[in-house]
A and B are shown apart, each in its own frame.
Chain A
Amino acid sequence: MTEILLQIDGLTKAYPGVVANADVSLTIRKGEVHALLGENGAGKSTLVKMIYGLVKPDSGQMMLRGAPYAPAQPRAARAAGVAMVFQHFSLFDALDVAENIALGMETPPPMRSLAQQIRQVSETYGLPLDPYRTVGELSAGERQRVEIIRCLLQSPQLLIMDEPTSVLTPQEVEILFETLRKLTAEGVAILYISHKLEEIRALCDAATILRLGRNVGTCVPAETKARDMAEMMVGSTLHTPERHPRAMGDVLLALDNLSQPSASAFGTSLKNITVSVQAGEILGIGGVAGNGQDELLAVLSGEMQAPAKAVQFLGQPIGQASPQARRQMGLLCAPEERLGHAAAPDMSLTENALLTGAQRQGLASRGFLKWGAARRFAEEIIARFDVRTPGPDVAARALSGGNLQKFVIGREVMQAPKVLVVNQPTWGVDAAAAAAIRQALLDLAAGGAAVLVISQDLDELMEISDRFAALNEGRLSAAKPTAGLSVDEIGLMMGGAHGMEVAHV
């Protein structure tokens, strides 16, 4: 076996109320891709933050190349050859690519020679990038390239990647893997954090699995079944949502040649979108984040006004209708971003139930609120969707991500919508809650409603939707039946490789 690069022994970190990491140990060898697996809240982020010097461990030790390693801050970690690509990109929108990269370096060369180096490295590894473009204008995939090149320019020995593929199309993922394989061939070790098991099986040489902050096992991914790894992560057997055959009915919601400029400077404008959803159907809309998903939801919910005829509900033009009017008709929406968009974080669950349920559930009359009825409605949601909370008086902020998401989706489902639009229904939700939410959407469609699911989780869309379409730079591809759709086709619908090319070292 090759020599050991990083050895972690009994690392423990506790925050008030939670133990994020308890006695975690792992070994990373030179030139190895090591996967770190675990559900949300399993302690993956805390562990890599300790390796990168952002968080100090309470106890335990690390050895880098046989020498004790305890970085006091990221600067020390970078000096020791540890680089990190963040999940939520640590980039500055208003600065250009070269400035962003210079900020991540200890002793950056003058701007002009740095720009030269960026061009060189980006060509070598097949990640084309213009050093003088403003980062705010780049796509998610391009932004990730900025981060990766920032790391590569420092010739790291250990590269930490936190969920790098969540923003990429399948083709881009393939090219990223090529780049990573080139790096490992040069002796760089990669610590790869993900919960996408098939990717890990394709890429990684070893895997460490965390659950609730503890090591629960190691495995060789190529020789382990994805299902076995998933059950190690979750700690129990998984329940797969059931699909019942269902009859398709009339077209309930139709978008007719919808074009809509984005409201924000760095947003994406919608261009010529034409699509329809029938009763009993689930339409899945995929695509990399930032390709018009937020704008599409805003147009459907009524937050953004569109030409009247561009949005039709049961044949009626509703492009100019207000969100309340749409709710009254039976078009309900559950936006992404639980804390802030879908729910008011500091208000109680009862109040949150009132906010969207007041009309259809009759929770208000003549401007006065019916608190009793609102409370009963919230309790019904909690009971039917198994929301784990002490009661409806708890603030939305106090719920875990998965529980609040169940509440937010449940609140709309319980109002018996004719059409339900959801954006990222299971983002950041644990596997059991995700399965419950998907089941609820399937049941709703079986009951004759039309469901439009916008998501970046392709596996989810393949699992529940009848037809699939993808957003790419504000355009929507033609919808195709999901049965028999190949990964290649999906990738092309999502826009292919966005101008990336395979590394040619």
Chain B
Amino acid sequence: MDLSAINPTLLLASLMVAATPLLLAAIGELVVERAGVLNLGVEGMMITGAICGFAIAVNTGSPVLGLVAAAIGGAVLSLLFAALTQYALANQVASGLALTLFGLGLSALIGQGYQGIKPPSFPKADIPFLSDIPFIGGILFRHDFVVYLAIALTAAVWWALKYTRAGLVLRAVGENHDAAHALGYKVVRIRVAAICFGGACAGLGGAYISLIRVPQWTEGMTAGIGWIALALVVFASWKPWRVMLGAYLFGGLTVLQLNLQAAGVAIPVEYLAMSPYLITIIVLVIMSADKSRAPAALGRSFHASQ
């Protein structure tokens, strides 16, 4: 066992990278659930985004275009879910599960011929001056811009939900869709928009894995991150900053246990591998013991009947 092989700067820096896809997917799902929709298809939308982004980046040579395509791909797939649940009034749980299975299959189909290819590399955004700060500079300011985009998105979602009228209307729709309808708000339209946003975020998160974190394409490469994102939203009590905390905690533990494995710690690998899931859930369960609760209309279908 050689713990000195673990470089703390590198560890903390890779923590931020590991957490970003999870944060992106979870913050999107948070918005969807605050609008009262339970979309269990996050995993499917992520993997679809991953391959859409990968394919476009390879074919155009531009990783940024790839990210845009990933967001569009995730959003388009989520529209399928929106059509099923908001217009055909299908069961949200079943539709979400179907979306995940469909997304996994679709991505495998698109991905044929992309295996073993290396995507164009993504430029790191070395922030001038700040990145030169010893230790902290290496951890915080030498990442690609998506890491910062994810943090900015968290802040924006928090601010929009708390302080803007659109955020208030979105929360109202998720809380009591009948009352929102009686006040004249377009419940279905608002929910479709939220679902689309969630899809775009999930797609972006997926592409972050295939273009930046790994970077290559393999079938099923999101490996359950979408499900973790779903659990994270619940345990974070539908609060954006807690989602970020949970994502970073999970990312950090994942990186740490990999490092520990590499350092040959005398704990069976299986225990190390399960530790991020266990510890993240325990911490968030303790934190969610306060009064906060789910949006009251979560998972319920809305139909404007008399």
Stretch at the interface among B139-147, B148-156, B175-183: B175-183
Interface size on A, residues (CB 8 A): 24
Nearest residue, chain B, Cβ from A90: B179
Flag if A103 contacts B296 (CB, 8 Å).
Answer: no
Contacts of A15 in B (CB 8 A): 306
In the complex, A69 has a CB within 8 A of chain B: no
A46 on interface, CB distance cutoff 8 Å: yes
- Are the C-beta atoms of B172 and A95 separated by less than 8 Å? yes
Instruction: Check B110 for interface membership: any CB of A closer than 8 A.
Output: no
CB neighbours (8 Å) of B296 from chain A are: 93-94
Question: Is the CB–CB distance between A103 and B293 below 8 Å?
Answer: no
Contacts of A73 in B (CB 8 A): 184
In the complex, chain B residues whose CB is within 8 Å of the CB of A91 = 176, 179
- Greatest chain B CB density within 10 A among A75, A99, A103, A104 is at A103
Asked, given contacts A95-B171, A99-B168, whether A104 binds B183 with beta carbons under 8 Å apart, the answer is: yes
Query: How many pairs of A and B residues are in contact by the CB < 8 Å rule?
Result: 53
Contact of A94 among B175, B183, B185 (CB under 8 A): B175
CA distance A86 to B180 in the complex (A): 12
Residue ID in chain A nearest B294 by CB atoms: A94
Whole-angstrom CA separation of A89 from B168 in the bound complex? 18
In contact, B183 and A74 (Cβ under 8 angstroms): yes
Residues 33-53 of A contacting B (Cβ, < 8 Å): 46, 49, 53
A44 CB to nearest chain B CB (Å): 13
State in angstroms the CA–CA spacing of A86 and B171 once bound together: 20
Give Cα distance in the complex from A187 to B125, angstroms: 65
Q: Mark A407-447, 1 if CB is under 8 A from B, else 0.
A: 00000000000000000000000000000000000000000
Given contacts A99-B168, A103-B168, contact A92 B184 (CB under 8 A): no
B297 nearest CB neighbor, chain A only: A92
- The listed residue with most A CB atoms (<10 A of its CB), out of B168, B169, B183, B293, is B183
Q: Is A220 an interface residue (CB 8 A)?
A: no
Could you give, for residues 287-306 of chain B, a 1 whenever the CB lies within 8 Å of some chain A CB and a 0 otherwise?
Answer: 00001010110000000001
Contacts of A222 in B (CB 8 A): none
Known contacts A46-B306, A55-B306, A102-B168; is-contact A92 B182 (Cβ 8 Å): no
Q: Cβ of A74 and Cβ of B175 under 8 Å apart?
A: no
Is there an interface contact between A92 and B165, defined as CB atoms closer than 8 Å?
no
B172 x A92 contact (CB < 8 A):
yes
Q: Is A108 an interface residue (CB 8 A)?
A: yes
Bound state CA distance, A142 and B239, in angstroms? 29
The answer to whether A202 has its CB under 8 Å from any CB of chain B is no
CA distance A104 to B183 in the complex (A): 6
Whole-angstrom distance between the alpha carbons of A93 and B306 in the complex?
22
Q: List 27 A-B contacts (CB under 8 A).
A: A15-B306, A49-B306, A53-B184, A55-B306, A73-B184, A74-B182, A74-B183, A74-B184, A75-B184, A86-B182, A89-B179, A90-B176, A90-B179, A91-B176, A92-B172, A92-B176, A92-B180, A94-B295, A94-B296, A95-B168, A102-B165, A103-B168, A103-B169, A103-B183, A103-B185, A104-B183, A265-B293
List of 6 A-B pairs having minimum Cβ-Cβ separation, nearest first:
A74-B184, A90-B179, A92-B175, A90-B182, A75-B184, A73-B184
Residue positions of A touching B, CB distance < 8 A: 15, 46, 49, 53-55, 73-75, 78, 86, 89-95, 99, 102-104, 108, 265
